[in-house]
Amino acid sequence: MVRLRRGREAAPRRHGAHHRRGQQRGARRAPDCSAARRALEAGRLAPIIDRVFDFHELIDAYRYMESNAQNGKIVVRGETPHTTQG
């Protein structure tokens, strides 16, 4: 037990039990994203795409990402599966 002022004792701290004002640290309320979702669905909000790479340029896309030169999203366009007609 830890002694506090005026002779009171505090309960021992348990590992990982970080409390502040009755709540655990990191327990946050989820942000309200409904306005952003509505704007995205209405077409008023769009992602900023910096560059588009084809799948065979994947290594170049990774190097570009590692360089931190982008000002938006980096898109890797996947290969479309070939369909056989029979």
Higher pLDDT, 69 or 9: 69
Tens digits of residue pLDDT in 3-51 = 556 655 666 555 555 555 555 555 666 778 888 889 889 998 888 999 9
* pTM, two decimal places: 0.47
Say yes or no to pLDDT of 66 above 90: yes
Domain boundaries, the chain: 47-86
4-33: burial string, b at 16+ Cβ within 10 Å, e else: eeeeeeeeeeeeeeeeeeeeeeeeeeeeee
